[in-house]
Amino acid sequence: MVLVLAPISALKKIDSLKFTSALSVALAVLFVLLSSGIALVKALEGHLEKPQLVPSFSSKRSILDLLTVIPIMTNAYICHFNIQPIYYELKNRSATRMNRVGRISTVVCVTVYMATAVSGYLLFGEATASDVLTNFDKNLGISYSALLNNVIRIGYVIHLMLVFPVIHFSLRQTIDSCLFPRASPLVHSKFRFFGWTFTLLSLVFLGSTVIPNIWIAFQFTGATSGLSLGFIFPALVILRAQTQQSELGSWARPFAWMMVVIAIIASLLGVSTNIYNVITRQE
């Protein structure tokens, strides 16, 4: 927190995070290459167990666990809050160039997430933990297992630390804009800038020590803020644009309403299922 997150989070322009962001993507790709390579080696040696290809519906618990997966998956594609600051600092910015950035980012995310999921599930099967890094603390059954485990764990931890400041940048900016709408821009006030940085980092650190499992955090954020940012708010923007005589096609309005309804249903199911799971596990 002190040596890595605080200094990087104190940068005032999101453009200053381009090198750390590029390194974080490279580390994510390294994780995929190593885990996929390990899975391939074990497959060639005949040491992989046949994975379960479809979800289990044998019990109420299995069905409830399945319902919580969809909100969690929304966390993987939530980057909407960074579009405005990135667009503002984009060279020769235009809607066309920004759309290209969004499409390339989505393709990279889909590729990395799919490769991570497939290789991780092939390696650990039913023993795959909610935090997959905990799976890389035992013998993988191949040569140099300890070295590969350390490289994967350390590399991915660094990746997570480098991703955090990009999310924190928009969080800090949004909170300041909501509480001080008439004040000067945040970057022009050192007191507000560093005050919010210290406050938010302290709250994040406190939350990380209190929440026992990252899976629980992903469940609730995915079912609330994830679905809101990824589906509800963009759909509401479309509906608002439709009322202002925009050039959107006739399909936009019914499609936007469909997104809102589906997201609300998924959110209600996700939150209620998460609360039920937490209560029953405590009992």
pLDDT digits (tens, 9 = 90+) for 222-248: 888 888 888 899 899 888 886 665 666
How far apart CA 262 and CA 276 sit, in angstroms, is 21
Q: Please report how many Cα atoms fall inside a 13 Å half-sphere around the Cα of residue 255, on the Cβ side.
A: 9
Q: Select from 155, 130, 161, 160 the least CA-distant residue to 281.
A: 130
219 pLDDT tier (thresholds 50, 70, 90): confident
Maximal CA-CA distance, the chain: 65
How far apart CA 73 and CA 231 sit, in angstroms, is 13
Mean pLDDT computed over every residue of the chain? 84
- Burial of 147-169, coded b for 16+ CB within 10 Å and e otherwise, reads ebbeebbeebeebebbbbbbebb
Query: What secondary structure letter does DSSP report for 249?
Result: -
Q: What is the pLDDT of residue 200?
A: 93
Q: What is the pLDDT of residues 164-202, one digit of tens each?
A: 888 888 889 889 999 998 888 888 888 999 999 999 999
How far apart CA 263 and CA 283 sit, in angstroms, is 30
How far apart CA 260 and CA 268 sit, in angstroms, is 12
Q: Select from 150, 274, 257, 168 the least CA-distant residue to 223.
A: 274
Q: What is the pLDDT of residue 281?
A: 67
Average pLDDT over residues 144-157: 89
Residue 218 three-state SS: helix
Residue 108 three-state SS: helix
Query: What secondary structure letter does DSSP report for 188?
Result: G
Structure tokens at 151: 């490289």
Q: What is the pLDDT of residues 70-126, one digit of tens each?
A: 777 887 778 888 888 888 888 888 888 888 888 888 898 888 888 888 888 888 887
